[in-house]
């Protein structure tokens, strides 16, 4: 059976952080993005409102800032090794995140078969983000369904990895899920729970036969 592994980004592939935080840090705007993150976490902002507010903060953003944010982010260990293992088994791995597409898509460099984020204009910005392209928790399921069709699998063949309320709907849509350093309400909905900094260990919980990836 071919499997499709679906990974969230912020708080899941990154330990205790997310791409908006790392991007804003490069611009000296940590306090400002923290305020937006708190409002979003408290459900005082919808995803499209957060995206518009974040873009407004990032007026001076350049590709160099984005690259520095990506390279300096607190990634979990073993991401590339796990994706290499998944590919070696003939399975698929994809990232689905509410974070900006220009950041999420950099994970293609690490071996993801697909990487989908909220659609932002190219950096540096010359136009406003189109809110129609901003992902929502329900939108993650829609993207997952498109990926299933693309890779010739079904929801029954999917494993989801996530950490927060934005992953609840995807967890409900697939048979196997892994809560990675997750909030309590997602932990309660997960098949497996992982706390730590090594994706190889979270991947191992799923029971997928491993052929050479060893956590250290």
User: Do 87 and 67 share a structural domain?
Assistant: no
pLDDT of residue 213: 37
Cα dist from 187 to 12, 135, 171, 175, whole Å: 13, 22, 10, 15
CA angle (43, 163, 90) in 5-degree steps: 135
**% of the chain beyond a pLDDT of 70:** 96
What's the DSSP call for residue 125?
P
What's the number of domains the chain is made of? 2
Task: Report how far residue 159's alpha carbon sits from residue 120's, in angstroms, rounded to the nearest whole number.
Answer: 27
Of 33, 50, 71, the residue that ends a domain is 71
Task: Report how far residue 11's alpha carbon sits from residue 18's, in angstroms, rounded to the nearest whole number.
Answer: 6
CATH number of the domain where residue 126 is located: 3.40.50.1000
pLDDT of residue 208: 78
Considering the domain boundaries, does residue 214 fall inside one?
no
Angle between helices 30-41 and 19-26 in degrees, nearest 10:
160
Considering the domain boundaries, does residue 210 fall inside one?
no
Tell me, rounded to whole angstroms, the distance of Cα 84 from its chain centroid.
Answer: 18
Q: Is the pLDDT higher at 91 or at 215?
A: 91
User: Do 90 and 63 share a structural domain?
Assistant: no
- The edge-to-edge listing of strands for the beta sheet with 114-118 is 114-118, 92-100, 4-7, 158-162, 176-180, 192-194
List, for residues 93-131, the tens digit of each pLDDT value.
999 999 999 999 999 999 999 999 999 999 999 999 999
- Tokens (6 digits) for 26: 């490069």
Tell me phi and psi for residue 115, to 5 degrees: -145, 115
User: Do 136 and 83 share a structural domain?
Assistant: yes
Cβ atoms of 204 and 210 closer than 8 Å: yes
The domain in which residue 23 lies consists of 19-71
Cβ atoms of 167 and 160 closer than 8 Å: yes
User: Do 60 and 40 share a structural domain?
Assistant: yes
User: Do 99 and 47 share a structural domain?
Assistant: no
Of 71, 90, 113, the residue that ends a domain is 71
User: Do 163 and 60 share a structural domain?
Assistant: no
- Tokens (6 digits) for 134: 């901003």
Q: pTM score > 0.85 for this model?
A: yes
Considering the domain boundaries, does residue 216 fall inside one?
no
List, for residues 149-175, the tens digit of each pLDDT value.
999 999 999 999 999 999 999 999 999
User: Do 106 and 25 share a structural domain?
Assistant: no
């Amino acid at each position: 059976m071919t499997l499709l592994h679906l990974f969230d980004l912020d708080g899941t592939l990154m330990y205790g952080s997310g791409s908006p935080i790392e991007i804003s840090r490069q611009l000296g705007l940590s306090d400002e993005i923290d305020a937006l993150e708190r409002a979003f976490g408290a459900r005082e902002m919808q995803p499209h409102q957060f995206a518009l507010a974040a873009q407004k903060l990032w007026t001076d953003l350049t590709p160099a800032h984005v690259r520095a944010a990506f390279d300096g982010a607190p990634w979990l260990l073993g991401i590339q090794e796990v994706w290499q293992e998944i590919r070696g088994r003939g399975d698929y791995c994809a990232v689905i995140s509410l974070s900006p597409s220009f950041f999420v898509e950099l994970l293609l460099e690490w071996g993801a078969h697909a990487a989908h984020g909220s659609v932002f204009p190219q950096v540096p910005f010359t136009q406003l983000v189109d809110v129609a392209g901003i992902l929502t928790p329900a939108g993650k399921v829609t993207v997952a369904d498109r990926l299933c069709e693309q890779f010739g699998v079904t929801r029954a063949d999917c494993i989801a990895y996530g950490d927060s309320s934005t992953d609840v709907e995807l967890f409900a849509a697939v048979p196997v899920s892994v809560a990675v350093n997750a909030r309590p309400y997602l932990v309660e909905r997960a098949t497996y729970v992982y706390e730590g900094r090594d994706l190889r260990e979270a991947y191992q919980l799923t029971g997928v036969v491993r052929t050479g990836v060893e956590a250290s």
